[in-house]
Amino acid sequence: MNFYIASGFSNKENVRHVAALLQEKGHRQTYDWTQNVRASTLNDLKRIGELEKTAVIESDFFIILLPAGVGSHIEAGIALGLGKRVFIYSPSQELFSFEKTSTFYYIEGVQRYTGTLDSFVLSVLRELT
Protein backbone atom coordinates (compact mmCIF):
# COMPACT_ATOMS: atom_id res chain seq x y z
CA MET A 1 0.00 0.00 0.00
CA ASN A 2 1.07 3.59 -0.58
CA PHE A 3 1.54 5.92 2.37
CA TYR A 4 2.35 9.53 3.12
CA ILE A 5 3.77 10.86 6.39
CA ALA A 6 3.18 14.44 7.46
CA SER A 7 5.04 16.18 10.26
CA GLY A 8 7.27 19.14 10.97
CA PHE A 9 10.93 19.51 10.02
CA SER A 10 11.84 18.98 13.69
CA ASN A 11 10.43 15.43 13.37
CA LYS A 12 12.14 14.47 10.13
CA GLU A 13 14.28 11.73 11.73
CA ASN A 14 11.12 10.17 13.19
CA VAL A 15 9.45 10.40 9.77
CA ARG A 16 12.43 8.61 8.21
CA HIS A 17 12.32 5.92 10.90
CA VAL A 18 8.60 5.23 10.45
CA ALA A 19 8.96 5.26 6.65
CA ALA A 20 11.81 2.75 6.79
CA LEU A 21 9.78 0.38 8.99
CA LEU A 22 6.80 0.56 6.64
CA GLN A 23 8.98 0.11 3.56
CA GLU A 24 10.55 -3.00 5.13
CA LYS A 25 7.02 -4.45 5.12
CA GLY A 26 6.52 -3.68 1.43
CA HIS A 27 4.68 -0.37 1.62
CA ARG A 28 5.65 2.53 -0.66
CA GLN A 29 6.14 6.13 0.42
CA THR A 30 4.52 8.46 -2.11
CA TYR A 31 6.84 11.39 -1.35
CA ASP A 32 9.76 11.86 1.03
CA TRP A 33 9.72 15.55 1.91
CA THR A 34 12.51 14.99 4.47
CA GLN A 35 14.97 15.15 1.57
CA ASN A 36 14.03 18.80 0.95
CA VAL A 37 15.70 21.87 2.31
CA ARG A 38 13.43 24.55 3.73
CA ALA A 39 11.69 26.57 1.03
CA SER A 40 13.17 30.02 0.50
CA THR A 41 10.87 31.43 -2.18
CA LEU A 42 7.17 31.43 -3.01
CA ASN A 43 7.93 29.32 -6.09
CA ASP A 44 9.59 26.74 -3.81
CA LEU A 45 6.50 26.69 -1.61
CA LYS A 46 4.24 26.19 -4.62
CA ARG A 47 6.37 23.38 -6.08
CA ILE A 48 6.64 21.55 -2.76
CA GLY A 49 2.94 22.07 -2.01
CA GLU A 50 1.95 20.54 -5.35
CA LEU A 51 4.25 17.54 -4.76
CA GLU A 52 2.86 17.00 -1.28
CA LYS A 53 -0.77 17.35 -2.40
CA THR A 54 -0.20 14.78 -5.16
CA ALA A 55 1.51 12.46 -2.67
CA VAL A 56 -1.46 12.62 -0.30
CA ILE A 57 -3.85 11.92 -3.19
CA GLU A 58 -1.75 8.92 -4.28
CA SER A 59 -1.55 7.46 -0.76
CA ASP A 60 -3.73 4.64 0.50
CA PHE A 61 -3.23 5.72 4.10
CA PHE A 62 -1.97 8.87 5.77
CA ILE A 63 0.14 9.31 8.90
CA ILE A 64 0.70 12.48 10.87
CA LEU A 65 3.42 12.53 13.51
CA LEU A 66 2.82 15.16 16.17
CA PRO A 67 3.85 17.76 16.94
CA ALA A 68 3.23 19.05 13.43
CA GLY A 69 2.61 22.40 11.84
CA VAL A 70 -0.14 23.99 9.80
CA GLY A 71 0.95 22.36 6.53
CA SER A 72 0.70 18.88 8.03
CA HIS A 73 -2.81 19.59 9.25
CA ILE A 74 -3.83 20.88 5.81
CA GLU A 75 -2.47 17.63 4.35
CA ALA A 76 -4.50 15.72 6.95
CA GLY A 77 -7.58 17.64 5.81
CA ILE A 78 -6.93 16.61 2.22
CA ALA A 79 -6.55 12.99 3.31
CA LEU A 80 -9.76 13.11 5.35
CA GLY A 81 -11.65 14.76 2.52
CA LEU A 82 -10.55 11.98 0.20
CA GLY A 83 -11.64 9.29 2.66
CA LYS A 84 -8.12 8.05 3.43
CA ARG A 85 -7.39 6.14 6.62
CA VAL A 86 -5.60 8.54 8.94
CA PHE A 87 -3.25 7.52 11.74
CA ILE A 88 -2.13 10.16 14.23
CA TYR A 89 0.83 9.60 16.53
CA SER A 90 1.73 11.72 19.53
CA PRO A 91 4.66 10.95 21.83
CA SER A 92 2.36 11.71 24.80
CA GLN A 93 -1.33 12.07 25.64
CA GLU A 94 -0.84 15.83 26.02
CA LEU A 95 -1.71 16.63 22.38
CA PHE A 96 -4.88 14.57 22.71
CA SER A 97 -6.02 16.46 25.84
CA PHE A 98 -9.26 18.40 25.45
CA GLU A 99 -7.47 21.76 25.74
CA LYS A 100 -4.93 21.04 22.98
CA THR A 101 -6.62 18.62 20.61
CA SER A 102 -8.45 19.10 17.32
CA THR A 103 -12.01 18.06 16.58
CA PHE A 104 -10.71 16.34 13.46
CA TYR A 105 -8.59 13.95 15.53
CA TYR A 106 -11.85 12.34 16.65
CA ILE A 107 -13.86 11.87 13.46
CA GLU A 108 -14.59 8.63 11.62
CA GLY A 109 -11.53 7.14 9.92
CA VAL A 110 -8.98 8.69 12.30
CA GLN A 111 -7.04 6.56 14.76
CA ARG A 112 -4.93 8.06 17.54
CA TYR A 113 -1.83 6.54 19.13
CA THR A 114 0.72 7.28 21.81
CA GLY A 115 3.72 5.31 23.02
CA THR A 116 6.88 4.43 21.12
CA LEU A 117 7.23 4.93 17.39
CA ASP A 118 7.93 1.24 16.91
CA SER A 119 4.75 0.22 18.75
CA PHE A 120 2.83 2.79 16.69
CA VAL A 121 4.08 1.28 13.43
CA LEU A 122 3.20 -2.23 14.62
CA SER A 123 -0.33 -1.00 15.43
CA VAL A 124 -0.68 0.59 11.99
CA LEU A 125 0.52 -2.59 10.29
CA ARG A 126 -2.01 -4.64 12.26
CA GLU A 127 -4.80 -2.24 11.25
CA LEU A 128 -3.86 -2.55 7.59
CA THR A 129 -4.11 -6.34 7.48
Is 90 exceeded by the pLDDT of residue 3? yes
pLDDT range class, residue 36, cuts 50, 70, 90: confident
Residue ranges of domains in the chain = 2-128
Average pLDDT, the chain: 94
pLDDT for the residue numbered 60: 98
Q: Nearest to residue 1, comparing CAs of 43, 44, 58, 69?
A: 58
Is 90 exceeded by the pLDDT of residue 124? yes
Is 90 exceeded by the pLDDT of residue 102? no
**Assigned CATH topology for domain 2-128:** Rossmann fold (3.40.50)
Average pLDDT value for residue range 96-120: 90
pLDDT range class, residue 10, cuts 50, 70, 90: very high
Is 90 exceeded by the pLDDT of residue 14? yes
What whole-number distance in Å separates Cα of residue 111 and Cα of residue 120? 11
Q: What's the gap between Cα 123 and its chain centre?
A: 15
pLDDT for the residue numbered 46: 94
Is 90 exceeded by the pLDDT of residue 2? yes
Q: What are phi and psi of 90, to 5 degrees?
A: -130, 140
The sheet carrying 110-113 orders its strands as 28-29, 2-6, 61-65, 85-89, 110-113
Is 90 exceeded by the pLDDT of residue 118? yes
* 8 Å CB contact between 28 and 2: yes
pLDDT for the residue numbered 103: 87
